[in-house]
Structure 1
Amino acid sequence: MAGHTGVRALRLRVPGDLGRTAAAVVLVGAAYYLGARLGLSLSLVERNVTPLWPPSGIALAAFLILGRKMWPGVALAALAVNLPISTGPVPALLTAVGNTLAPLVAAIVLERIGFRRQLDRLRDALAIVFLGALASMTISATIGAVTLTVSKGTHGLAGAWVVWWTGDAMGVLAVAPFLLCIPLFWELEPWPAARWLEAGVILALTIVLMWWTTRTDVPLLFLVLPLLGWAAWRLQLRGAAPAALIASLIATWSATHDLGPFRGKSLLGQMLSLQAFDATVALTSFFLAALVTERMGFARALMAAAADLEERVKDRTAELKTTNDQLRREIDQRHETQQQLTREEAKTRREHQIAETLQRNLLPDRMPDIPGLVVAARYVPATADLHVGGDWYDVIQLRDGLIGLVIGDVAGHGLQAAAAMAQLRMAVRAYAVHDPAPAAVMRKLHRLARELPMAEMVTLLYVLYDPDTGTVRFTNAGHPPALLIDNESTQYLDGGLAPPLGVLAHGDYAEATQRLRPGATLLLYTDGLVEKRALSIQDGLDRLLAAVSDAEWPDLDALCDHLLSSLPETGKVADDIALVALRPLALAGMPLSLDVPADARMLFQVRHALRRWLRESGVNARDAGEIAIACGEACSNVVRHAYGASPGDLHVEALLVDGSVQLTVRDHGRWRRPADRGGGLGLTLINGLSDSVDIDSDTAGTTVLIRRNVVVGDEK
């Protein structure tokens, strides 16, 4: 029953649609016929060649506003107009075909190039002048002029063609924009009374000025151009089109009656002058109106964009404030658990963490110097998009010598992706400082991603490396797997997998563990390195594996450059590429040499690198511990006394020679006198833990040489 009701409703609607279409066709035909009678009253050649043919503009406007289905009304009206003035039905039919075909072709061409009937762009004004009027009307002029000269046996084909083409083109230029502007009076914002008064003044002045300039032999038609510019500037198309139509009608009437500046000229000369004037009127009116409308549209769009940007900035500021409050609570909890720190140290660390959280929203400027490790990274933005992307990476130095590696990808580009990237990057650092375990960090990031209004998908790979044990623990939230490059076994680390952040309501994250021996390389990357159009992601992973396996890479920077130059398409990066590589150095069997800033924050890195070198060199655990304490005291003295407030560097070197460890701590500063700096307990401790201590101090710096006999190979 419902199906029958739908069919009945459809049958009831169809006649209404057909009736409205038929009524529109009749109205278009009537308008065409009346316009034709007006145009024929201005004919110059025979009875059917006129310098202004309004029906061409009427037909084009009807096709653009009501659709090409109006062609029957145009064709029948054209035939009705041409039958009485033609030598027979065949010439009349041919002429009607040309009169119908020209505006129909013009409408099709304009629709194909995206023409807007509002004429609110400069390209629309150019299109209706050059394509709709000057080019398309050659069809009707050619068909009509040839038919006229053949049927009547005349020889003025060139003159007839010029007048015919002029009439059709002027009909489009003068009439079509006027008809196209009529719907704008109820489609656009209504005019106030003052604007209507201004429009009336402009039209009245146009009529008076055109009437006067066409009655004098002095060529003063150009005086109307400022009025047309005034109409276009103040009223746009709704004022420029009527003014241009009035100017063209009066000028055409004067040309047909041999008045004013058209007096005494030949037919061709009159048409050229009239064509030049009408073209100038159209260019001045419609081009300026379109240009003003386009500029006003740009201004409105710019104001709307500015308002939208201001609103988005307010929203982002509120989101960042919420995030900062949450991070401050996390930092406060962490400080409460660190009772060994003084209140001032806790305050300084908290302020530093907050400043880092607020300010660091871009990629790191340089990789940290970590003793015993080599780290390299690269970031290449997509070449097709100049905007900031969502790929990012970070290397985080944590307590107890742990190193955190993180790489992530926020889908999309622009402000939203960059803001999400900055928030997540700051959150990873804060969470890792509080609890560096991969699963714990990922769970907190998942909750953060669920709370923030992120429309983008976020993938992230977090790796925790322990230099003391040589192991990596990692969790992967939907990111491409890390690649372990090792001569013994090069493989992808596909454990610890989970969906991207924030996708599921409850995130369940597990850790995986992998041994990273000295000399092996761990490579983290984003999907831009392995994804390529028309290839699957597995093909990209296979290509990456082949690229790192084709040679040995003793230098990490060379490896990164090789991957960036060989994997993406030449000269094209379809998506952002970020990669970071970490390699522990093989310390056993060679001297240990460390150059680090003389900064207290670097002391635990030096201590862990020395412990690792002693362990890999086979030094007894007890000896290794006491040597590390002595080295720490010597390095602490450099940090406290060698440079004062100015920055400096610290060099540590260790050798294993004939059962003894020779440890050298060198600086290039100028120490204060013992009476000024006080203390001395550090040197006493160093002497107590060493077999011999030599101190050499001069203007070039201070060198402390510590020797300690050790037991190699005994772990007791």
Structure 2
Amino acid sequence: MLSEREGVRRLVLLVAIGVTYFYGGKLGLELSLVGNDVTPLWPPTGIAVAALLVFGRSYWPAVAVAALAINIPISATLAAAVATAVGNTLAPVVAVTLLHRVGFRREIDRQRDALAIVFVGALASMLVSATIGSLALLASGAIRAGQLPTAFAVWWTGDAMGVLVFAPFLLCLPLFWEQRRWPLRRWLEGAVILVAVALALTWTVVQMRVLFVALPFLGWAAWRLQLRGAAPAALIATLSATWAAAKGLGPFEGTSRLEQMVTLQAFNASVALTSFFLAALVSERAKAAADLAVSAAELERRVETRTAQLSAANLRLVQEIHERSEAQELLSHEEAKAQREHQIAETLQRSLLPDRLPDVPGVGLAARYVPATSDVQVGGDWYDVVQLPHGLIGLAIGDVAGHGLQAAATMVQVRMALRAYALQDPSPPAVMHGVHQLVAQLPVPEMVTLIYLVFDPSSRELRWSNAGHPPALVVADGGSTYLTGALAPPVGVTLDGSFVEASHVLEPGATLLLYTDGLVERRGVSLSVGLDRLSREVTTAPRRSPAGPPTALPTGPPTDVPTGSHNGSHNGSPNGSHNGSRTDWPSSSPDDDLEVLCDMLLQTFLDEDHVPDDVALLVMRPAVAVGGELALHLPAEARNLVKLRGALRRWLHESGVPEGEANEVLVASGEACANAVQHAYSAADTAGLLELTARLTGDELEVRVRDHGHWRAAADRGGGWGLQLMHALMDEVEVEHMTAGTEVRLTRRVRVGLGA
């Protein structure tokens, strides 16, 4: 039950709403365009929508009574008056209901509110009253059927414009005392804007027959004054345009009623969108700025509080640091000595492993070293690759059991000794015997395991001796084989330092894998389990192909031509360069596969967060030329001429070129390479790239030698014997000097398949 005071207040509001609605209707009828009751601007709809938004939908009886009072005198029949009053009441109720559903706020301080009042509250909801009212006119005989579209358009325009113009104006009035008061200069600015809108519309409508000159002033009002300025300015603009339409002035002159309504509706909609949308946008930005200022103040307060807390904590921390500093001074001399020993061991270990693997034409190399992550000192795993006389390659991998300075020092001595013995006599038994004698004389309490191999690229023969190290693994033809021969105890363990060697011929495209026990050995698990798993993983590892997707690693000879080597790094990632080939001589390096293989093995066998023991990997793959092609890319240095000749010699031998003809090709090609080494980069600080490519098509051999340097002009002092020698040994010699370097093209017909 309502109290007496609330009842009186409700009655007063009902009367006020009804009276305002009634006289607003009288004002709108002054602009009637169809009969006596269809007007392009119907203020009561805006009054009703604003009243129901502010006071609630329960005040709809005031709207219904006032609407009926307006429509009875101007309607042909009582039924038509009642139907029209129902439409006039139902449309505002629908509009308010829909606006509540979309979360409309009467301050219209958000973009969604501006869009809602235009499209939901005005354009959509007023279709209800326009439809009911125009049909009531037609049913009562007030209009003919041909006038129905015009009556509907004028009615819809009037009701929608009533909402667009009067509802925001009435809703903005409470804001003058609810929000911050304006200073005098803001009132003056608002008055100037309203006068400017009125004058601009009056002058432009009468003199220039255009309407949209007032839009900049409406934008000014919305930007500077938001809804409190935009709503009155939009009201003046709409009233002026509606008056012009009713009188047929300016752009409305000489057009039909339907055209007038379309033009008026477009203008009024533009006015509403410009005013309310921009006002809402500015209000949103202003509110966001105010919220940001409040947040900044709150943040500043929190920072001050947190700073005080941190200051207190810092005082406590300083005290604790002081106490710990005093405790630190009491540490024993032995701990400092151990720390120094660890640092020395780390330095020795870094100097142990090679900075980069050598460039060996025709042989792909890759290596990895991963230190243990457990809380122990540095370990004793190591690897090395030695280029030996006559094109041989020495490979070694070993492990000094234990950790610390003693293990690191032993690693250094064993590696240096192995290099020295290998260069003196590369035979595996001789090298292992020399290392054994050295280790036997060292005060080494731990074991030293080692496997040393010698590889001949020309015959692909692999000879080795193994002193207690895990066996090397060879992968080829879809399977894998451990090289278990030539076994002996770890070096330095026995008095007898005799070693034997075993041999194995690597098949074309075979991969040799050397590793230390940290890769396969796990505590509590048999070593054979780790070896079996390594064999399976390497056999099924993916292998990239130059002309297709990844394939299985050992499915056959590689379809690429070796162009150099990759370098291993101490942190487990490659540290070398990938050598490419000429675009017209397609080939690719097998080293890419080796790098991928190393990474795959580390990811498969090692835990990223915990590596219990050091791990060293060394992978080698000799490759053969397939399709009669060879591509070599090396720095243009004199020491690399031997490598180039060796690789070319092997390729010619594998291609079936007789030895005599091969020697003549080697001499001619060697002269071309020597010229590039001597002249191409003589003016540069560092040697550039030297490329040798060879192709055998049928019995036609083509060799190209290219550099990327700049040759100086030839001096008139003799010489030129190298070019004459090339002409004498080859069928055709072409020298092309280009901006990007010089290319020598040698061609000759050879007898293929007659033996070497």
TM-score, reference length from structure 1: 0.51
Look up the SS of the partner of 1:371 in the other structure. coil
Cα displacement (A) at 1:455: 2.3
For 2:524, the aligned partner's letter is A
Distance in 2, Cα, partners of 1:359 & 1:681: 51
Aligned to 1:656: 696
Q: 2:400 aligns with which of 398, 402, 410?
A: 410
The one-character-per-residue Cα deviations of 1:344-387 (angstroms, maximum 9, x if unpaired) are xxxxxxxxxxxxxx998332233322211111111111111464
How many residues are treated as equivalent by the alignment?
386
CA contact (8 A) 1:532 1:568 kept: no
For 1:460, the aligned partner's letter is L
For 1:440, the aligned partner's letter is A
Distance in 1, Cα, partners of 2:622 & 2:322: 70
Q: 1:618 aligns with which of 652, 656, 663?
A: 656
Q: Does 2:741 match 1:708?
A: no
Distance in 2, Cα, partners of 1:289 & 1:607: 69
Q: Does 2:298 match 1:298?
A: no
Aligned to 1:672: 712
CA RMSD between the two structures: 2.9
Aligned to 1:515: 505
Distance in 1, Cα, partners of 2:610 & 2:369: 14
Q: 1:504 aligns with which of 480, 494, 501?
A: 494
Q: 2:674 aligns with which of 633, 636, 639?
A: 636
Q: 1:455 aligns with which of 445, 462, 467?
A: 445
Look up the SS of the partner of 2:477 in the other structure. coil
CA contact (8 A) 2:376 2:403 kept: no
For 1:690, the aligned partner's letter is M
The one-character-per-residue Cα deviations of 1:397-430 (angstroms, maximum 9, x if unpaired) are 2221111111010112222212211121122112
Aligned to 1:543: 533
CA contact (8 A) 2:341 2:405 kept: no
Of residues 679-688 and 668-677 in structure 1, the stretch that sits farther from structure 2 once superposed is 668-677
For 1:413, the aligned partner's letter is H
For 2:723, the aligned partner's letter is L
Aligned to 1:168: none
Look up the SS of the partner of 1:546 in the other structure. helix
Aligned to 1:479: 469
Cα displacement (A) at 1:291: 7.8
Name stretches of at least 5 consecutive residues in structure 1 with no aligned partner.
1-286, 317-357
CA contact (8 A) 1:446 1:502 kept: yes
Q: 2:391 aligns with which of 401, 406, 417?
A: 401
Aligned to 2:485: 495
Look up the SS of the partner of 1:603 in the other structure. helix
Cα displacement (A) at 1:295: 4.7
Q: Does 2:611 match 1:573?
A: yes
CA contact (8 A) 2:383 2:398 kept: yes
For 1:498, the aligned partner's letter is A
Cα displacement (A) at 1:624: 1.2
Cα displacement (A) at 1:489: 4.3
Cα 1:488–1:615 change in 2 (3 A) is: farther
Cα displacement (A) at 1:305: 5.9
Look up the SS of the partner of 1:453 in the other structure. coil
Aligned to 1:425: 415
CA contact (8 A) 2:363 2:622 kept: yes
CA contact (8 A) 1:641 1:677 kept: no
Cα displacement (A) at 1:647: 1.5
Q: Does 2:636 match 1:598?
A: yes
The one-character-per-residue Cα deviations of 1:119-146 (angstroms, maximum 9, x if unpaired) are xxxxxxxxxxxxxxxxxxxxxxxxxxxx
Cα 1:512–1:677 change in 2 (3 A) is: farther
Q: Does 2:724 match 1:684?
A: yes
The one-character-per-residue Cα deviations of 1:169-202 (angstroms, maximum 9, x if unpaired) are xxxxxxxxxxxxxxxxxxxxxxxxxxxxxxxxxx
Distance in 2, Cα, partners of 1:691 & 1:403: 35
Cα 1:659–1:304 change in 2 (3 A) is: closer
Distance in 2, Cα, partners of 1:579 & 1:288: 44
Cα displacement (A) at 1:290: 10
Cα 1:547–1:673 change in 2 (3 A) is: same
Q: Does 2:458 match 1:468?
A: yes
Aligned to 1:526: 516
CA contact (8 A) 1:588 1:613 kept: no
Q: Does 2:622 match 1:584?
A: yes
For 2:726, the aligned partner's letter is I
1:247-326 map, 5 Å: 294-295=327-328, 297-298=330-331, 300-301=333-334
1:24-103 map, 5 Å: none
Distance in 2, Cα, partners of 1:538 & 1:370: 34
Aligned to 1:109: none
For 1:483, the aligned partner's letter is L
Q: Does 2:355 match 1:368?
A: no
CA contact (8 A) 2:732 2:746 kept: yes
Cα 1:304–1:633 change in 2 (3 A) is: closer
TM-score, reference length from structure 2: 0.48
The one-character-per-residue Cα deviations of 1:601-641 (angstroms, maximum 9, x if unpaired) are 21121111111111111112211121112111211111112
The one-character-per-residue Cα deviations of 1:449-471 (angstroms, maximum 9, x if unpaired) are 11222222110111111011111
Aligned to 1:696: 736
Distance in 1, Cα, partners of 2:716 & 2:447: 60
Aligned to 1:609: 647
Between structure 1 and structure 2, the one with the greater Rg is 2
Look up the SS of the partner of 1:473 in the other structure. strand
Cα displacement (A) at 1:525: 0.3
Aligned to 1:234: none
CA contact (8 A) 2:341 2:404 kept: no
Cα displacement (A) at 1:289: 14
1:96-495 map, 5 Å: 294-295=327-328, 297-298=330-331, 300-301=333-334, 361-385=351-375, 387-487=377-477, 489-495=479-485
For 2:530, the aligned partner's letter is G
Look up the SS of the partner of 1:670 in the other structure. coil
CA contact (8 A) 1:598 1:650 kept: yes
For 2:694, the aligned partner's letter is A
Distance in 1, Cα, partners of 2:737 & 2:349: 42
Look up the SS of the partner of 1:674 in the other structure. coil
Cα displacement (A) at 1:297: 3.5
Aligned to 2:231: none
Cα 1:305–1:425 change in 2 (3 A) is: closer
Distance in 1, Cα, partners of 2:400 & 2:628: 43
Cα displacement (A) at 1:699: 3.3
CA contact (8 A) 1:694 1:705 kept: yes
Distance in 2, Cα, partners of 1:671 & 1:292: 67
CA contact (8 A) 1:378 1:578 kept: yes
Q: Does 2:595 match 1:557?
A: yes
